[in-house]
């Protein structure tokens, strides 16, 4: 190992697990679709490798359960709350579960990164929705154990333990929780996590933090982090439901059984690797031709599609219409707290009817159409829409789930080119319809994460397994940007930060005001700039000026090519 490699591996060791480079996917940018699926399969397998589930806390007396998070963590919170409320509606109980997403409901469809940095905002939002409640089970989700928004909420709970039972869900050991100062705050995330651990001894707070290995694309917690959040919290909520409404005793074994069922979903999904690889290829070709990928989903699979599509904007610097999701009945189907948001702009236009009215007339043969449905959806509606789409393009594919005893007719499947058709062996007697739906959601999430990630890799947006051209829109992403620069240049943190600031402030001569400003000022400016990390990287590697670095990037629009000096 030479000196540079040694420096890089020391740096890597110091990173929290969720920010590390996963050795499994190091070469994801050099393989074909089929090999890519195998890489993602191995990364996701790590979810099931270490089963150190913490003991379940049984307390059926809460009058409110709140799940909260930023970005994908908030979107998964929303999805879980939607299913859980549907489940408790059945025995005619009032809805007892609620969600918070940093930035409000608009963050479900667009990236709202700045509120993630605000601990006071998190606490205020929690206080507001819990007004008048006597018992609140609060689950703060932060995959990287890093979001100040969630830290502020946990701190608020810890100060009111008479009402709140706080739970922290994340995927780093507590000693790797973030320890940087937070905006207008005297404590940091790690302090809060340590206080949670102290309270855990008295069963007043709980920390659930299984370590799942690094993400397939470094730091992209929408992937494993999001899936594991869904698996763990679904298992807990289901256990709570069984205990509260069916009088069942919840044991660690039954929690394990639910986790094992998710592992079966994982195995089954990835056993369809040929179709998955074909869909990655189709989506990749389409993006390379500057065409589009449209997910047309029904019910919660529509939400999975919308979520996956909206994450491509911050993750890969994609345009909002590169990959877009649509759901039957639009916001009526979403049942989100703030209702119809379509007045906010084109990113919020999400109904099938909107698709037919605004996109279908100009759909091209290069655009990929991907239908997402199950045997429980209205198949007449599915075929009618597929028929309309077929009149414009044959580039029409599907992910379709059904049951051995209740299959989708062949005539429906025959309408699509590539069909990732999964016939599940669980019967409707064995699991209730909400649980079945949750498994289909998980399977679809794995497929869409693979398709959108794979397609952007094929487009050349990823170098090794790093998304270098990240938008530096909050303090976590600012730190990640510096880590990436250190990783690829072997230079000191100070040198990397200076180069990053030059790119952010668009200057070769940083003023005192610029260098002494706090990180939130930097991210505010960075939010309005393109390619800040690639520019900084080229400036360091080539020892060149800002203008020269920009020229180099203009000549190499594909990030992977631009990184060859
Ligand atoms: O700031 C953006 C982001 O990285 C999202 O991509 C991610 O989903 C969100 O933060 C939340 O991250 P965490 O769950 O680690 O707090």
- E-assigned strand segments in 51-119: 64-69, 97-101
Does the beta carbon of 19 lie inside 6 Å of ligand 1? Answer: no
Answer whether 137's CB lies under 8 Å from 379's CB: no
Q: How far apart are CA 133 and CA 140, in angstroms?
A: 18
Q: Using CA positions, which residue lies closest to atom 3 of ligand 1?
A: 71
158-to-162, 397, 515 alpha-carbon distances in Å = 9, 49, 36
Query: What was the pLDDT predicted at 162?
Result: 94
Three-class DSSP labels, 342-389 = HHHCHHHCCEHHHHHHHHHHHCCCCCEEEEEEECCCCHHHHHHHHHHH
Do β-strands 136-141 and 97-101 pair in parallel, antiparallel, or remain unpaired?
unpaired
Q: Using CA positions, which residue lies closest to atom 10 of ligand 1?
A: 71
Q: How far is the CA of 542 from the centre of ligand 1 (A)?
A: 32
Q: Which residue has the higher pLDDT, 473 or 1?
A: 473
Answer whether 229's CB lies under 8 Å from 170's CB: no
> CB-based contacts of 198: which residues, under 8 Å, 6+ apart?
none
pLDDT band at 9 (very low <50, low <70, confident <90, very high): low
Q: Please identify, by atom number, the ligand 1 atom nearest to the C-alpha of residue 141.
A: 14
pLDDT band at 12 (very low <50, low <70, confident <90, very high): low
**What is the per-residue pLDDT across 329-386, written as a single tens digit (0 to 9) for each?**
999 999 999 999 999 999 999 999 999 999 999 999 999 999 999 999 999 999 999 9
Does the beta carbon of 36 lie inside 6 Å of ligand 1? Answer: no
**What is the per-residue pLDDT across 139-154, written as a single tens digit (0 to 9) for each?**
999 999 999 999 999 9
Q: Which residue has the higher pLDDT, 3 or 416?
A: 416
Structure tokens at 13: 């060791």
- Residues 32-49 have a mean pLDDT of 91
Does the beta carbon of 153 lie inside 6 Å of ligand 1? Answer: no
Residue 488 DSSP SS3:
helix
Q: How far apart are CA 398 and CA 359, in angstroms?
A: 18
Q: Which of 109, 144, 212 to mutate to test the pocket of ligand 1 (most atoms within 8 A of CB)?
A: 144
Structure tokens at 446: 């794995």
Q: How far is the CA of 278 from the centre of ligand 1 (A)?
A: 29
DSSP structural state of residue 463: B
């Amino acid at each position: 190992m030479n000196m540079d490699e040694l420096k890089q591996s020391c740096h890597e060791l110091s990173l929290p697990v969720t920010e590390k480079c996963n050795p499994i996917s190091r070469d994801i940018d050099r393989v074909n679709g089929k090999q890519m699926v195998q890489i993602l399969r191995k990364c996701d397998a790590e979810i099931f490798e270490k089963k150190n589930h913490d003991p379940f806390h049984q307390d059926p007396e809460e009058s409110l359960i709140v799940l909260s998070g930023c970005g994908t963590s908030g979107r998964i919170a929303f999805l879980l709350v939607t299913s859980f409320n549907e489940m408790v509606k059945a025995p005619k109980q009032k809805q007892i579960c609620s969600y918070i997403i940093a930035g409000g409901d608009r963050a479900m469809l667009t990236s709202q990164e700045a509120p993630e940095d605000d601990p006071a905002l998190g606490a205020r939002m929690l206080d507001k929705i819990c007004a008048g409640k006597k018992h609140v089970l609060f689950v703060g989700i932060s995959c990287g154990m890093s979001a100040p928004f969630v830290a502020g909420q946990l701190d608020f709970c810890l100060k009111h333990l008479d009402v709140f039972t706080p739970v922290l869900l994340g995927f780093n050991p507590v000693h790797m929780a973030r320890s940087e100062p937070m905006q207008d705050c005297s404590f940091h995330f790690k302090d809060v996590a340590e206080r949670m651990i102290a309270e855990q001894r008295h069963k007043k707070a709980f920390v659930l933090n299984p370590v799942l290995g690094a993400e397939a694309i470094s730091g992209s917690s929408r992937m494993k982090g999001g899936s594991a959040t869904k698996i763990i919290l679904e298992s807990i909520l289901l256990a709570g439901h069984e205990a509260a409404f069916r009088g069942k005793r919840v044991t660690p074994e039954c929690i394990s059984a639910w986790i094992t069922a998710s592992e079966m979903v994982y195995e089954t999904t990835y056993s369809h690797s040929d179709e998955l690889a074909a869909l990655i290829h189709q989506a990749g070709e389409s993006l390379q031709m500057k065409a589009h990928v449209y997910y047309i989903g029904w019910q919660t699979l529509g939400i999975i599609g919308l979520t996956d599509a909206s994450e491509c904007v911050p993750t890969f610097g994609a345009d909002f219409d590169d990959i877009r999701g649509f759901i039957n009945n639009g916001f009526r189907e979403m049942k989100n707290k703030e209702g119809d948001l379509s007045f906010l702009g084109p990113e919020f236009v999400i109904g099938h009817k909107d698709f037919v009215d605004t996109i279908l007339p100009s759909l091209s043969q290069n655009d990929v159409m991907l239908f997402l449905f199950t045997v429980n959806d209205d198949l007449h509606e599915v075929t009618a829409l597929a028929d309309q789409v077929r009149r414009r393009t044959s580039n029409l594919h599907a992910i379709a789930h059904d049951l051995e005893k209740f299959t989708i007719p062949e005539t429906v499947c025959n309408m699509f080119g590539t069909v990732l058709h999964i016939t599940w062996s669980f019967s409707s007697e064995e699991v209730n319809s909400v649980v079945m739906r949750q498994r289909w959601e998980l399977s679809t999430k794995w497929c869409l994460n693979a398709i959108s990630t794979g397609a952007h890799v094929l487009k050349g947006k990823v170098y090794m397994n790093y998304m270098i051209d990240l938008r530096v829109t909050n303090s976590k992403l600012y730190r990640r940007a510096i880590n990436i620069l250190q990783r690829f240049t072997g230079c000191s943190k100070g040198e990397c930060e200076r180069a990053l600031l030059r790119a952010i402030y668009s200057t070769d001569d940083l003023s005192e005001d610029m260098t002494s400003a706090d990180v939130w000022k930097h991210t505010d400016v960075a939010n309005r700039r393109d390619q800040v990390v690639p520019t900084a990287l080229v400036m360091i590697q080539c020892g060149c000026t800002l203008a020269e670095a920009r020229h180099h990037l203009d000549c190499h629009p594909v990030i992977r090519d631009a990184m060859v000096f």
